[in-house]
Amino acid sequence: MTAILIVEDDPHFSATLADLLEDNRYQVELATNAAEAIAKAKKRAFHLVLTDVRIAGPDDGVTALEAIQKLQPNIRSIIMTGYADAEVPVRAARLRADDYLHKPFKLKALLHSVTAVLAQDTPFRGLFQRVAEAPAQARQRAVRWVFDAQLQKLNTAREHCTKEFFLLLRSNHLKDRLAYQFFCNWEQLELQYLNSQTPAQWKALTGEYEKFNTRPPTGGRENSCSFEVFCQLLEKIMDGRVELVHLYRAVQLLHQPQARGENLEAYSTYHWLWEKSQASEDPFVGLKVGGYTLASLRSGDQNGPVRLYEARHELHYRPGDLVLCLASNPETEPMEAEELKGGRAVLLERRMGHHFLLYKGYGLTLKMSLPPEGLSPDKAWELLRPVFIQVRDQFHSQKQFSGSFSLQDIDCIPGQPCRVTQFSPETYRHMHRTRQLITFTSAPEVFEIEEPTAAADQAVLGRILFESVLGGQYPNAEVRINLRALGTPEADAHLRPYIPRLGPLARPFYLMCQAEPGKRFATLDLAIQAVDSAMAAAAT
């Protein structure tokens, strides 16, 4: 269950927050000051810390967050404040807090923020990363597309820069005109990012991203985003309708029309970001479709062609359920068909000139069931062995392969064995076709081999085993990236400190996740036998 630490010295307010979050199936602990919060963080791991700035004691909430991050580097965070302190947003941005809320705020806004921060890799939250092609002499390897070391640094610098910039906007630290000047400069960096091709360009651009939030802008530049359009975007950011992850593709979708038609996520994100808002009463809030009630608008505009709603089932509540309301449109029909064919969405109804697509929530998935400190090797195998068996017997026996699924595609319902619920080759095919790493869920050979294979699923399952032991969080971006190059000296050296946590799973994992498919187990059944033998030997 997702564990949240609330740092708040007002007992009535903290109790209200705790009740709200517990009603939504989060596990909550309370702390009234920085020392108590740090002590709790030393005793157990949390997924998220929600902290007020001004709290009792000599240290404020930002100082508490900084100390907790040193104990738990992967923890997510939301800052709350009722005071206009110019330094707090800057400090919070430097710590790369995930969100910033001004008191007083509506409880719905808080819940929206918590859900968004915890669900950044669910549908409609793709993270666009550049990838580099290997030199011609290296193309004899099974993996043609590789991560250049300098490009890795650039991707990390870009993520950090965008996160800090987003928080400075959310906190209202940058006022309209100054925010626009920053945005224009950031837009130019993003365009350079999309067009950069060489290590020298990547190195120079890395430095520009690293310095971006620490120096005043040089003034606006000519581009297609006017001040009026930017203000519309800023309003959506302040309202919570545009989230951090949307910004990663904002400039690409604005400047490259072809990118908007890549898939339904890109099409929807473009409209949420850039279409003009029209204030009106939402006709779909409260509407019942396919057993779900549309509770509140998550992204989009009341009159826009694509709207994303938080939804609640009449009988079975599952945190994170989302319904996409899509206006009937020949342009979107192929994208919708791809979503349904790939199993990423379920069509609930077609009526009122709209299509209603369900994206299942994350509350009962393995991703959200993992404790933040991770599972022991024996517990991880106990949970995942049924998934390995399912993939072998249900899919591979029928020559069906996916090559791209994740912890969030595995249901973990109490009292039942874990089962993969989204097993389709469509995501793999899309990434192969577009040469864009939207997520890190695919097998390493996705850019080299056109169709997924049984070996690709083996690599995906090995990665999921690794993630389960680590609590679903990577210690840093480099671990996530080097996992895709396992078997090379550089990647092996980088991952060596984390291998001991796997215990008896280490050797089978290493073979399952080899970057080159030919070096993996010959079949998934042999991989299962290897893990069973290793676990049995460790138990004696």
Q: What is the pLDDT of residues 11-43, one digit of tens each?
A: 999 999 999 999 888 899 999 999 999 999 999
Q: What is the mean pLDDT of residues 152-167?
A: 90
299, containing H or E segment = strand 292-300
Residue 202 lies inside a defined structural domain of this protein: yes
Pairing of the two strands 76-81 and 346-351? unpaired
Q: Which CATH number goes with the domain that contains 51?
A: 3.40.50.2300
Residue 357's H or E segment, with its range, is strand 354-359
Determine the Cα–Cα distance for residues 123 and 405; give it in Å rounded to an integer. Answer: 12
Same domain, 373 and 513: yes
Kindly state whether residues 400 and 529 are assigned to the same domain.
Answer: yes
Give the model confidence (pLDDT) of 476-512 as tens digits: 777 888 898 999 998 999 999 999 999 999 999 999 9
* Mean of the per-residue pLDDT values of the chain: 88
Neighbours of 214 (CB within 10 A): 9
User: For residues 456 and 524, is the Cβ–Cβ distance under 8 A?
Assistant: no
Give a yes or no: residue 86 inside a domain: yes
pLDDT at 130 over 80: no
Strand bridging mode 48-52 / 27-31: unpaired
Q: What is the 3-state secondary structure (H, E, C) of 452-466?
A: CCHHHHHHHHHHHHH
Residues 68 and 100 in one domain: yes
In a domain, 445, yes or no: yes
Residue 310: CATH number of its domain: 3.30.200.20
**What is the token pair recorded at 13?**
């307010």
CATH number of the CATH domain containing 424:
1.10.510.10
Whether residues 373 and 509 fall in one domain = yes
The answer to the question of residue 88 being in a domain is: yes
Tens-place pLDDT, residues 501-540: 999 999 999 999 999 999 999 999 999 999 999 999 998 8
Please, which pLDDT band fits residue 138 given cuts at 50, 70 and 90? very low
Segment 72-97 mean pLDDT: 89
Judge if 391 and 488 occupy the same domain: yes
Q: How many CB atoms lie within 10 A of CB 35?
A: 15
**Domain end (from 344, 359, 374):** 359
Residue-wise pLDDT tens digits, 371-415: 888 999 999 999 999 999 999 999 999 999 999 999 988 998 878
Q: Does the structure show a pLDDT above 50 at 286?
A: yes
What are the C-alpha distances in Å from 352 to residues 132, 328, 358? Answer: 45, 9, 17
Residue 123 has pLDDT above 70, yes or no: no
458 φ, ψ to 5°? -60, -45
Mark whether 321 and 354 lie in a shared domain: yes
**Residue of 159, 92, 168, 170 whose CA lies nearest to 128:** 159
HSE-CB for 229 with a 13 A CA cutoff:
14
In 3-state terms, what secondary structure has residue 365? Answer: strand
- Which of the four pLDDT bands, split at 50, 70 and 90, describes residue 473? confident
Please list the alpha-helical segments (H only) found in 127-259.
149-170, 176-195, 199-211, 227-239, 244-247, 250-255
Residue 128 lies in a domain: no
Given the structure tokens 């807090």, which residue do they identify? Answer: 97
Separation of alpha carbons 196 and 151, rounded Å? 10
Q: Cα dihedral angle (193, 195, 198, 200), rounded to 10 degrees?
A: -50
Starting at the edge strand found earlier in the chain, the sheet holding 354-359 runs: 288-289, 292-300, 306-313, 322-327, 354-359, 346-351
Domain boundary among 243, 274, 305: 274
* pTM of structure: 0.84
Determine the pLDDT at residue 532.
Answer: 97
Least confident of 229-238, 300-309, 419-428, 466-475: 300-309
Percentage with pLDDT > 70 across the chain: 92
At residue 357, does pLDDT exceed 90?
Answer: yes
Q: Which two tokens stand for residue 220?
A: 């606006």
Q: What percent of the chain has pLDDT over 90?
A: 60
- Domain span at residue 88? 3-118
User: Do residues 521 and 425 share a domain?
Assistant: yes
Question: Is 131 among the domain residues?
Answer: no
Query: Would you place residue 112 in the very low, low, confident or very high pLDDT band (cuts 50, 70, 90)?
Result: confident
300: pLDDT strictly greater than 90: no
Residues 448 and 376 in one domain: yes
Structure-token match 């619920």, residue found? 421
Kindly report which listed range (93-107, 306-320, 439-453, 493-507) carries the lowest average pLDDT score. 306-320
Co-location of 328 and 418 in the same domain: no
453, part of any domain: yes
Residues 332 and 400 in one domain: no
Helix%, strand%, coil% for the chain, nearest 5: 50, 15, 35
Q: Check whether residue 429 and residue 327 sit in a common domain.
A: no
Per-residue confidence band for 141, with pLDDT thresholds at 50, 70 and 90: very low
User: Is 71 within 8 Å of 49 (Cβ atoms)?
Assistant: no
- Strand 76-81, strand 132-133: pairing: unpaired
Residue recorded with tokens 């080299």: 448
Q: Is residue 281 part of a domain?
A: no
| Three-state DSSP class for residue 327 | strand
Which domain-ending residue is among 324, 359, 394? 359
Q: Exposed, middle or buried, 300 (CB in 10 Å: 0-12/13-18/19+)?
A: buried
pLDDT-derived band at 360, boundaries 50, 70, 90: confident
Shared domain for 183 and 254, answered yes or no, is: yes
Given a cut of 70, whether residue 254 has pLDDT beyond it is: yes
At 475, is the pLDDT very low, low, confident or very high (cuts 50, 70, 90)? confident
Report how many domains make up the chain: 4
- What is the distance between the alpha carbons of residues 235 and 139, in angstroms, rounded to a whole number? 47
